Amino acid sequence: MTATLPRQATDRHTARPSARAAALPGLPGLPGLSGLLGGARKVAQALATPLVPADYLDLIDPMRAGADLRGRIVDVTPETADSATLTIKPGRGWRGHTPGQYIRIGVDIDGVRHWRAYSLTHRAGTPDGHLTITPKAIPDGVVSNHLVRRTTPGTMVMLDQATGDFTLPRELPRKALFLTAGSGITPVMGMLRNHLDELPDVVQIHCAPTESDVMFREELRSYAAASRLTLHENLDDVAGVLDLASLDALVPDWRERETWVCGPTGLLDAAEAHWAAAGVSDLLHVERFRPSVVEPGEGGTVTFERASVTVDADGSTPILDAGESAGVLMPSGCRMGICFGCVVTMREGAVRDLRTGDITATDENSGDVRIQTCINAAAGPCHLDL
Amino acid sequence: MTLAPERPTSLNSRLRVDSDAPRPQRPELKKSGRPNPASHLTPEQIEEIGRELDALRAEVMDSRGARDAAYIRKVITTQRYLEMGSRAALLFSGVKVRGIRPMWWIGTAGLSVAKILENMEIGHNVMHGQWDWMRDPKIHSTAWEWDNASPASQWKHAHNEIHHTFTNVLGRDNDLGYGILRVDEDQRWSLFYLFQPIWHVGNALIFEYSIAAYDLELGSYVAKKNRMSPEQKAEFKKNADEVLAKIKRQATKDYVVHPAMAAATFTGSGRHTLTANIVANLVRNLWTNTVIICGHFPPGIETFEKTSIEGETRGEWYLRQMLGSGNIAGSKAMHVMTGNLSHQIEHHLFPDMPSNRYAEIAPRIRDLMERYDLKYVTGSLPKQAASVYWKVVALSLPPKREGTTRRATVWKAARKALRGKGGGGRRY
């Protein structure tokens, strides 16, 4: 087995009460109150050690302000045959978002926590404060299939605050073009639902294999019917994959439009080239969503980042041995996989368990993973935090 | 860029069930003259045992899932509610109703159980990495700290690494008698052991502190202080400071802050909360000690010589774990309260397997051992614990030797000690 852990490793057990109290912002004019709060915090820490007060408070109210951000799924509504909108009630620590941004969601599947990023699609500022994401199930996608097909209301998930710069500028463009394919519509839907009324001139081009694959189809068409935007649906099975050369006919003034593109890598690459060729790259915003997965191989270069050492390790040498023979100071223990004394953080890479052949690899969303170096060999280039 | 050697010589032989050089057949007798319990097995059979256990491990590890995750979360939630409830009850532990203090009894019982659960089924097992596969940063071997005097980092080194790798190897596994008990005939007798029934009971009562001292290797520091390098001394100092800070936090919580909270209810509960915490820690110490001595000390469990593990393969390591551990039979509740260390044999074979799975593989391990004519040691808690207590008394005396009496051996050692010739020192 390989020890793995996402980047959000908590520091709760090592947090010292004094450090917490010192971090408390001083309240000018009310030194007594700030001292009192700091004191109460210290007492709470002393009561809870070796845990922290949050460990107990989380039992009672996991959604409270100050807790690690969580959410409860309150509704799951199918959009198409392979996508669904999940409505999530976020914890009170939720700081809101700018339409177009995404969140990372941590969901336990078969007992294992997986993190993935999804664009926020809801209209902000509604009284219930709920947010929505609309995942599309991709073939063999563990998380997307779970979210779309097997998630039930009531499920608790872990959340991160919204992030991403695929958003509208403060000063809204007079003319906008949204070019999307498949689930690439989701961040744009977030923008349309929140800002369509403020955008005077919007063209939306959306590509999907068939009509029934078009996410938010009714809503998009109703916007078009109300003349709030111009909609071009490109159904690949009927019209073929969209050729950007046809833009001149579809949207003659596309060179003047501030443009947002989101979809498969092929579309993004083509758009970047097309806009560059027209000399209007500065009008183009691109959102890339494909996780970069490390393809496992046999052996590879192992980089010990802090030691600035890189070694070539074959597929049968434990990373521990490879590191030690290159002079890296490696934490170690039993050297047979039972004591977990050699666990280190792998920033990026893939490793193979020498006992079982199991592969552990990083991807963009999982972030770092922790591995036992004594029973894992390189299965591709690896970067270790050592 | 430097090139790592093709196959480093340091590669641990325990990573494989087979080996490049043929493994030796085990001798009929151990060096001590006692029979070798595995002499009837050929190296090929041991390799086969290794393969079978590897396959069993893979089968269980591959089937870990939501059911297991729900189990550990339920245990953790239950333990935390139990602790909070008990501590709340103790706020009124001074209130007398018809001559007794009901809240003291309820709170003390609850807190004792909560501390035992926290140490055994949760702390010990989480720190073994049994739940790392969930990728939950809160239930992870690298993040967990437990309600015990020994800091997690030092416990993990002494227990996960030393004890689990060198299980029951004389001179390598300090858990074998914790350096203060003679629990195996093959441990050499010295005068120190004459009083070991006292050491044993004392050790059980203050078990959390003796574990801390033992994880810190305090004994070896005292013995070797003068021969240690400045770096080794600095390392010891750093670890000692860490232990003292942990003990201070633990003691402040149990013996100062919680009693102070109770005193603030003005029900005269401060003093009673203090005694409740003392009793709960004592109960926890006695219980954990009782469970742990049943794991490796009862009769029928084997010890091993240092030389017997040279070049040990994974199969041979498995074999040693099976012969060097013993189980406790009992109810489901008993298994949970022991942190499933009642399945010591299964735990020692697969220390990183989720503890809730040991019961399910136990019949298959027993079957395997019986097929290979190996003794699966098990018995009820009272039976196993009593057998260890009896052993501690019996082995406090030197072994019978021809041409002399035990009494003469004891006198000789005592006279030597009195003359300052080190007869009282402990050694194997």
pLDDT digits (tens, 9 = 90+) for B199-241: 999 999 999 999 999 999 998 899 899 999 999 999 999 999 9
Q: Whole-angstrom Cα distance, residue B270 to residue B204?
A: 27
pLDDT value at position B236?
95
Asked if A136 and A180 touch (Cβ cutoff 8 Å), the reply is: no
For residue B133, give the nearest of A340, A17, A333, A13 by alpha carbon: A340
Angle value at C-alpha A355, between A106 and B326, nearest 5 degrees? 95
**In chain A, whose CA is at the least distance from the CA of B147?**
A50
Residue A77 main-chain phi, psi, to 5 deg: -120, 125
Residues of chain B with pLDDT > 90, as a percent, come to: 83
Residue indicated by tokens 């019949």: B363
pLDDT value at position A327?
84
What kind and span of H or E run contains A371?
strand A369-372
Q: Nearest by CB to A10, from B138, B141, B352: name it.
A: B138
Out of 1.10.1740.10, 3.30.450.90, 3.40.50.80, 3.40.920.10, select the CATH number for domain A175-287: 3.40.50.80
Q: Tokens in use for B157?
A: 């080194």
| Secondary structure (3-state) at B331 | coil
Give me the residues of chain A with pLDDT under 50, please. 1-27
Assign a CATH topology to domain A70-159: Elongation Factor Tu (Ef-tu); domain 3 (2.40.30)
Compute the count of residue pairs across chains A and B with CB atoms less than 8 Å apart.
Answer: 186
Which sequence spans correspond to the domains of chain B? 48-394
Q: Nearest by CB to B15, from A301, A326, A336: name it.
A: A336
pLDDT value at position A378?
95
In this complex, is the C-beta atom of A313 within 8 Å of any C-beta atom belonging to chain B?
Answer: yes
- As a whole number, mean pLDDT of residues B53-67 equals 97
pLDDT value at position A357?
87
Q: Tokens in use for A255?
A: 């060179």
Q: What are B381-419's pLDDT values in tens digits?
A: 999 999 999 999 999 999 988 888 999 999 999 998 888
Worst-scoring range by mean pLDDT, A24-28, A162-166, B260-264, B336-340? A24-28
Q: Whole-angstrom Cα distance, residue B187 to residue B428?
A: 5
DSSP A318: B
**Alpha-carbon gap: B83 to the closest alpha carbon of chain A (Å):** 10
Residues of chain B with pLDDT > 70, as a percent, come to: 96
What kind and span of H or E run contains B264?
none
Q: Tokens in use for A258?
A: 């501030």
pLDDT value at position B135?
87
pLDDT value at position A18?
39
Which sequence spans correspond to the domains of chain A? 27-60, 70-159, 175-287, 300-384
Is the CA virtual torsion A358, A361, A365, A369 positive or negative? Answer: positive
Q: Tokens in use for B295?
A: 């794991």
pLDDT value at position B5?
45
**In chain B, whose CA is at the least distance from the CA of A109?**
B66
Give the HSE-up count for residue A70: Cα atoms under 13 Å, Cβ half-sphere.
17
Cβ neighbour number for residue B109 with a 10 Å cutoff: 16
Contacts of A258 (CB under 8 A, 6+ apart): A169, A173, A175, A176, A177, A283, A285
Q: Whole-angstrom Cα distance, residue A56 to residue A47?
A: 11
Q: Whole-angstrom Cα distance, residue B200 to residue A171?
A: 78
**Alpha-carbon gap: A21 to the closest alpha carbon of chain B (Å):** 16
**Alpha-carbon gap: A66 to the closest alpha carbon of chain B (Å):** 16
Pick B423 or B318 by higher pLDDT. Answer: B318
Residue A41 main-chain phi, psi, to 5 deg: -65, -45
Q: Whole-angstrom Cα distance, residue A15 to residue A97?
A: 29
Q: Nearest by CB to B257, from A1, A46, A354: name it.
A: A46
Judge if ipTM > 0.95. Answer: no
Superfamily covering domain A300-384: Beta-grasp domain (3.10.20.30)
Q: What are A7-60's pLDDT values in tens digits?
A: 333 333 333 333 333 444 444 555 678 888 888 999 999 999 999 999 999 999
Packed helices A53-60 and B66-90: angle between N→C axes, nearest 10 degrees: 110
